[in-house]
Amino acid sequence: MSERRQRIPELDGLRTLMIFIVSWFHIWQQSWLRPVIGSYSLDYLVRSGYVWVDGTVLLSSFLLFLPYAKAMLDRTPAPDTRDFYFRRARRILPGYYFIILVTLLAIAIPWKLYDNPQFLVKDVATHLTFTFPFFTDTYLLTPLGAASWTLAIEVQAYALFPLIARGVMKKPVLMLGVLCAVCFGFRAWCIWALTDYNMVVNQLINFLDVYTVGILAAMVYVRLDGKRAGRTDGQPETAEPQRKPDWRKYGYQVLATFVFIVGFIALLRMLRFQASSMDNTQIQMRQMIYRPVFALCFVSLLLSAPFALLPLRKLLGNPVTKFLGGVSMNYYLIHQTVIVHLKRLRFPPSVSDMPNMAGEQPWQNQYTLVSFVLSLLLAILVTYAIEKPAARLLNKLRAKWVRSE
């Protein structure tokens, strides 16, 4: 698979859009600013912004399985497991641990956000080990960044993924069927046996169907990409591609663009439905019930965008979205802490004690803008001052370790 196809630039735009809307939801929770374009209200979009987390999980599953799907297509060995873990650790740990440390030392401790030292120790320990979603206090009451639970379930999935992926390579129907059966069985128990879903709706087991859809999407993508290049299953990339007539190529692009548009419209309709939920219990119940439907909406965008007409591909895959996609993880980890602390600092200044409830202007606009901009600037700083230098250092250390073996 060529370098361009390994990266899939169009996914940068989708990732950026997903992270932006999730962060917009969190900012809206603090500002209560109702977004309107002319007479068209985007209130439903921001109220249901948490749903886009499912899209990021789907995208992660897709990208994780892509090398395995390529190996299945080419009938080559599975990717190296040690390399898989090294790449995940290099990408995640430096920035994440730095953000946790700074949040602890600059905000949580100085502002006395822990009731007792026991909770502090437990919270830090579970965040360092990505186990904090298992405990009510460290999941729901942590001052170390409420949004980081997403990364925690991703890391839990990383620990299992090589085993799952190799199982899919050998017996795809059986392995994916088991994942779905476990997920749907657990979800059915949650819906019919529980009345409070706070501690179950966002556990890894409740996302296994989303991971399954992502894995299937990767298998479909490598075949579509191979057909675009004129290759058949098992044919090496070095083989001379069979050129298709231009009319067929543009016909496929038109079809892919149509699928993208239809998928996006379907997603918006589902988001409007989700936003109509009456209370938190109904919100979380609908999340669990309709999670597979949302996954199918997201996967329609993911699979169609790389094959769409050039204007759409350029809109999603360009230098700006590449840059934003590169800092998106740190932006996601930082933004929740930033926006809550801005309220704590009463910045920007407001006339009312509760400016969000009073609908105070221009505070709502100022707060929203500052939250987006400051979170982005800090994410850029962490990415280029911490994450990337640490990645280079880890690469050097690994190279020395490999040579010494």
The pLDDT tens digits of the residues spanning 233-246 come to 555 555 555 565 67
**Structure confidence at residue 402 (pLDDT):** 83
**Structure confidence at residue 336 (pLDDT):** 97
Q: How many CB atoms lie within 10 A of CB 116?
A: 8
Helix axes 81-103, 149-170, angle to 10 degrees: 170
Q: Residue 36: beta bridge partners?
A: 41
**Structure confidence at residue 125 (pLDDT):** 99
- CA gap 41, 31 in Å, rounded: 16
**Structure confidence at residue 404 (pLDDT):** 80
Start-to-end Cα distance in the chain: 30
**Structure confidence at residue 3 (pLDDT):** 38
- CA gap 265, 210 in Å, rounded: 20
Query: pTM above 0.75?
Result: yes
Q: Tell me the residue type at 77.
A: P
**Structure confidence at residue 6 (pLDDT):** 67
Q: Tell me the residue type at 79.
A: P
Q: Tokens 């006395």 — which residue?
A: 112
**Structure confidence at residue 1 (pLDDT):** 42
**Structure confidence at residue 375 (pLDDT):** 99
Question: What parts of the chain have a pLDDT lower than 70?
Answer: 1-6, 230-245
The pLDDT tens digits of the residues spanning 303-338 come to 999 999 999 999 999 999 999 999 999 999 999 999
- CA gap 321, 330 in Å, rounded: 15
Burial (CB count within 10 angstroms: exposed 0-12, middle 13-18, buried 19+), residue 225: buried
**Structure confidence at residue 5 (pLDDT):** 45
Domain boundaries, the chain: 3-404
**Structure confidence at residue 165 (pLDDT):** 98
**Structure confidence at residue 247 (pLDDT):** 75
